[in-house]
Structure 1
Amino acid sequence: MSLNYDEIVRTGLARQVAETIRSAILEGRLKVDQRLPNEEELARRFGVSRPTVREALKRLAAQNLIRSRRGPAGGNFVTRPDPEGVGQAIAGAATLLVGLGAFEVDEIIAARMETEAACCRMAAVNRAEKDLEAMAAEIALQRREDLSDEDFCASDVRFHRALVDATANGPLRLMMYTVIESFIPVTNMLIYRHRVRRSAVDAHERIMRAIEARDGEGAAVLMREHLEGMRGVLAEALERRGGGTGTQA
């Protein structure tokens, strides 16, 4: 087994053990489905207690890097990281940063403009009928007059998620998870309190129609215009809330 059991400093031991095993997994020195030594053996090799090893293994399991199996042939096994699980972890950290005001609204809008324009171009090439159907379903929902602001925001997230799915590009979908799951809800809850639904839905429909026609550049231009319009509404919403340029409530 290719692990370096040396150089474990006597502070934050569980974290260090977890990081050592994590590095071995990510660097390919530990293979998918390979069984780790048992807790007693890991404790002996690392020179730490079994509770420390147990805590380290919990950390790795929370990161979806190992899984446990019971029984005579059981133990802790290296697992293939799940892209959605990784995306959720990244988005969770990003959501916390957004909530703490770590990013300015202009930064968020600029990031969305660049990344979602790229998604529009790729979606126009790779989209399938199911992707168009998913976007159309959210647009129909968004046009309902009785839809609450919170449900409208949730539908908006699903619309953009469907657009990203239409790219059929795994790495891009993973990267966009942060943008969709953490940036969009924060800006939406500022915007849709000020009732700009109709223009947002119309923009969504124009973007979808361009993707349906496989007009990637046209869809990208429409996305940029949609988000640029959002910048102005955000500025107005923030001013009404008492000024400031950050996203903190």
Structure 2
Amino acid sequence: MTPDGETGTEVPALVGHRVVRPRQQVEDALRAAVLNGRLRTGERLPAEAELARQFNVSRPTVREALTALQSQGLIRKLPGAGGGSFVQAVDHHALGEIVQTSVHNLLQLGSVSFDEVSMVRQHLEVPAAVLAAARRTDDDVAELRRILKEQRIRSVDDPDVPGLDAEFHIAIAQISGNRVLAALVYAVHRESEPVSYLELSAEVGRETYLQHEAIVDAIAAGDAAAAEAAITAHLSYLRAHIKAANVGPAAPRD
């Protein structure tokens, strides 16, 4: 009988808990050590044999845990005599690297199309430019104009052109003041960078520079609407040229 007089089945007390596999236990312990600072950025982890001894597990178990942590961007593995497993920075820069690697792999596998990535870039960079117009400082504007000056003196076949273009767009995202947005722009821009996929003509180079100049002028003036219009026109122009060049989802990279 239940306390209220009704017949029922007695519910057993809950005394069990989820059993975690050894590999998961090692992974969880090492992740916690990274996130709470016991293992610092750049610090080298003990060798696999030593970790196996400390956790009282096999070396393959440790190796699986380290591989999982590497895929999460918490550690990086370096080969060679001076190599090993090292703690990766856990910040918005690391986020950008992880997302870029994932997007790159998806493109190479053909799981997503280049046009999809290029479209996402536009949806990220437009609000970044709007925020940059509202939050820019004199130093921010000076940095954008410095990049513009470098772009103006470079010919379209200069090997520094792709890097300067990336620097320009990533700088705007950083000026937005949103570090997550900046990390995502970094990742998507590097995987949809049109300069890496097109044979730039002098005409396209001049037009791109003028579009960059219009974006900077709008940001410098604090005109969010003009910044939105300028970067939208610029990104649409680039996407049209990428389509015209028939770039596929797994186009070769330099």
TM-score normalized by the length of structure 1 = 0.71
Q: Is 1:246 equivalent to 2:249 in the alignment?
A: yes
Relative distance call for 1:32 and 1:103 in structure 2 (3 A) is same
Aligned-partner SS, 1:230? helix
CA shift digits 1:42-81 (9 cap, x unpaired): 533xxx21463366347647856479xxxxxxxx999872
Q: Secondary structure at the match of 1:150?
A: coil
**TM-score (norm. length: structure 2):** 0.70
Cross-structure match for 1:73: none
- Structure 2 contact 130–224 (Cα < 8 Å) conserved: yes
How far, CA to CA, are the matches of 1:89 and 1:105 in structure 2? 18
Runs of 4+ in 1 over 6 A off after TM superposition: 34-38, 76-80
Give how far 1:145 is off: 4.5
Does residue 205 of the first structure (1) align with residue 213 of the second (2)?
yes
Q: Within 2, Cα distance between the matches of 1:58 and 1:96?
A: 17
| Structure number having the greater helix percentage | 1
CA contact (8 A) 2:148 2:212 kept: yes
Identity %: 29
Check conservation: 1:157, 1:181, Cα contact below 8 A: yes
Counterpart for residue 116 of structure 1: 125
Measured after TM superposition, the shift of residue 142 of structure 1 is: 1.6
CA deviation after TM superposition for structure 1 residue 234, in Å: 1.4
2:179 maps to what in 1? 170
Q: Determine the structure 1 residue equivalent to 2:21.
A: 8
**Are the structure 2 counterparts of residues 213 and 95 from structure 1 closer, same or farther at C-alpha, using a change threshold of 3 Å?**
same
Q: Which residue of 2 aligns with 1:190?
A: 197
1:43 to 46, 55, 60: 55
Distance 1:236 1:125, change over 3 A: same
The question of whether the paired residues in 2 share the 8 Å contact of 1:124 and 1:215 is answered with yes
- Aligned 8 A contact 2:156 2:201 in 1: no
Instruction: Name the CA shift for 1:248/1:50 in 2 (closer, same or farther; >3 Å).
Output: closer
Q: Determine the structure 2 residue equivalent to 1:156.
A: 165
| RMSD (Å) for aligned C-alpha atoms | 3.6
Structure 2 unmatched ranges of 5 or more: 1-16, 77-84
2:148: which partner in 1? 139
Uncovered stretches (5+) of structure 1, i.e. residues with no partner? 68-75, 239-243
Report the CA distance between 1:214 and its aligned residue: 0.5
Matched letter for residue 228 of structure 1: S
Kindly tell me: are residues 65 and 191 of structure 1, through their superposed partners in 2, closer, same or farther at Cα, counting changes over 3 Å?
closer
CA contact (8 A) 2:114 2:192 kept: no
CA distance in 1, matches of 2:213, 2:143: 12
> Aligned with 2:192: secondary structure?
helix
**Equivalent AA in structure 2 for residue 248 of structure 1:** A
One-letter amino acid matched to 2:219: I
Larger Rg: 2
